[in-house]
Every structure is written in C-alpha cells, then in structure tokens.
Amino acid sequence: MSDKEEVDRLLNVLRTSIRLLGLTNREIERRLGLTPSYVSRIFSGTIELKMEHVLAIARAMGLEPWEFFELAYPRRSDSPSESFRAIRTLLRDMQPPPEPPAPPASGLTAEEIDQKIQESVRRALRELKVG
C-alpha cells in the first residue's frame, strides 16, 4: 500500500469509529480543546494527518493507541516481512532468561525434599509393620 492509501485507511478508521460511537467531530474537537472544524479539516486533507492527531483523536474517543491500531490493522493472514521477523527475533533474544525457581524456604533442594519424604514414608511403613 502507498503512504496515501495508509493515511486514507487511518482516516477512514477514525471517521468510522467516531460514527460508531455516536460522536460528532464537534464533540471530538471539544474533548481535545480544538477550534470548531479542526477535525473536519484533518479528515478533508486540508490539514496533514500527523501521528499526534491520530493518537489524540483516538484518546478523545476513549481508545488507547494500541486499541485504535488493532482496529486499523487487525491480525492478517499474509506472512510478515523479513524485517518484521528479524525485529521479533531480536526482541525475543533480548529478553532476560527466566530466573530459576527459588529454592524451598528450608534451603533444601527439591531432590532432597523428595528423599526426606521417601524416608519418612519408609519409616512410617516400618512402624506400621512393627506395631
């Protein structure tokens, strides 16, 4: 998609979301503290759409940025680009390794606890046989 098509897509999602929520451009402008017709000029292309506009309008609708972008770009079935896969791999590899489980409060390892349990069971069984 071209940049213009992407901008048009975002504008369309913004307009549609505003309508679906029963809001007007005037209400969004009021929530943003903007002058009348500002949002209309963004939608008409008179004012260039900026990321700040997208985020502010989404928040004025009560959406978090990630929610808006999920509406604009729902999960797709086409395969991700090589760059996307490389970034995902790098981010995954940058995560610190999981911490090993903490030893039991007694200071014994799980194996030592298992041995003590087995010894206790054997002792109890011996006492049952004797008694």
pLDDT digits (tens, 9 = 90+) for 70-115: 999 888 777 888 998 898 888 888 888 788 877 666 677 778 888 8
- The confidence band for 12, taking pLDDT boundaries of 50, 70 and 90, is very high
The yes-or-no verdict on residue 128 having pLDDT over 60 is: yes
Q: Which domain holds residue 67?
A: 3-72
How many domains is the chain partitioned into structurally? Answer: 1
- Rounded to an integer, the average pLDDT of 17-36 is 93
Which residues, 6 or more positions from 37, have their beta carbon under 8 angstroms from its beta carbon?
25, 29
Average pLDDT of the segment spanning 50-56: 95
Q: What's 45's domain CATH number?
A: 1.10.260.40
Q: What angle do CA 84, 72, 6 make, to 5 degrees?
A: 75
Count CA within 13 A, CB hemisphere, residue 124.
Answer: 6
pLDDT given at position 42: 93
Does residue 60 lie in a domain region?
Answer: yes
Whether residue 113 lies inside any domain: the answer is no
- Poorest-confidence range of 12-26, 38-52, 77-91? 77-91
Distance in angstroms (rounded) separating the CA atoms of residues 94 and 77: 27
Q: Quote the pTM value.
A: 0.65
